[in-house]
Amino acid sequence: MKYKCPHCGKETFSPWMKLRCGGMTSYGKPCPECGRRCVNGKASLIANTVLSLMGLAAILYCYFTFRTYRDVFLTGVIPFASTVIMRVLFNMFVGDLVPAIKRK
Ligand SMILES: [Zn+2]
């Protein structure tokens, strides 16, 4: 399974490479075919923002409600870890790559 380079249109990015391209604020990674840099686009930006807020909400909820260490694990650690995992999976498998706009 490969993802399309927005510059040359060839399917050159593996999920692992797509993950390492980062978001729209990063420098991105060069396409193996044409050498121009690509980043994950707007869908990734929105998903990462929403998931970050959910992770933050989970931590705040946990902080104000926990009574035992079990509560910390169930309402804090697990929800936060799952938002981090979902961000990684989203960047690997969902959303399109776009040309990097940030200069070195
Ligand atoms: Zn390319």
CA of 21 from ligand 1 middle (Å) equals: 13
CA of 37 from ligand 1 middle (Å) equals: 8
CA of 26 from ligand 1 middle (Å) equals: 17
Q: How many CB atoms lie within 10 A of CB 40?
A: 26
**pLDDT values of the chain reduced to their tens digit, one per residue, 104 residues:** 899 999 999 999 999 999 999 999 999 999 999 999 999 999 999 999 999 999 999 999 999 999 999 999 999 999 999 999 999 999 999 999 999 998 77
How much is the pLDDT for 99? 97
The pocket of ion ligand 1, defined by CB under 5 A, consists of 5, 7-8, 31, 33-34
How much is the pLDDT for 102? 84
Domain boundaries, the chain: 3-99
How much is the pLDDT for 85? 97
How much is the pLDDT for 25? 92
Q: Encoding tokens for residue 3?
A: 């993802």
Strand-by-strand arrangement of the 97-99 sheet: 29-30, 37-40, 97-99
Q: Encoding tokens for residue 40?
A: 């994950």
Q: How many CA atoms lie within 13 A of 14 on its CB side?
A: 3
